[in-house]
Structure 1
Amino acid sequence: MTAHLLAPPERRWECPSCDLQDVTHETRPHARMHSCAGLGGLTVPMVPAGVRAEHRLVEREDYVGREQVQLHEGRPVMNVTTIRDEGQDCTVYAPSVDARLSVS
């Protein structure tokens, strides 16, 4: 009896907002993310090749003080929703805060 090594599955991906295509060979469940040229460099998920989808940007509507937020064309972005025929996903861009300690 001989053991045969199975090749990892090939998964093809494409971005609905730009022309990027990619292939992964990962056995575990995963989602391919990339910095999208079509969305000004925001990190967004790719979808399996052949799936009709679109990315929708949702702007932040609350006050942005000294927080560091993701921007698209100068406007703060709260999330990107990936809408597909069989459902939707949401990529959230959590802001970070710049804190300084002053010693008296």
Structure 2
Amino acid sequence: MRKDKRHPGLTAEVISATGCYVNIGGQSGVLICAHDVQAILDYSCPEAQGIIVEARNSNRYIPVITDSSRIKSVIVTTNLNVYPSSFRMETVAARLQNALNT
């Protein structure tokens, strides 16, 4: 367990699992499991916008990035949660590929 320096009352358990977690951005360095990713979309494409709207309506949008000007891609997981990422689609794909090959 480690203490969160910004929020002294909180602790977090750091879990390591053979490199299958990748950082998708956000101030807190959000990690998702590479095995759970179903799709990565460029944030500027109309389909991504539609997926975000649907996810918000069904409470499946996880707003790890609140400044929309920083969002570069959108990640959909197997449980249909939708995460914005501050990394380009190609960068996320390369990180996922690397994590899955480790």
Larger helix proportion, structure 1 or 2? Answer: 2
Going by fraction, where is strand more abundant, 1 or 2?
1
Asked if TM exceeds 0.5, the reply is no
TM-score by structure 2 length? Answer: 0.29
* Higher Rg: 1
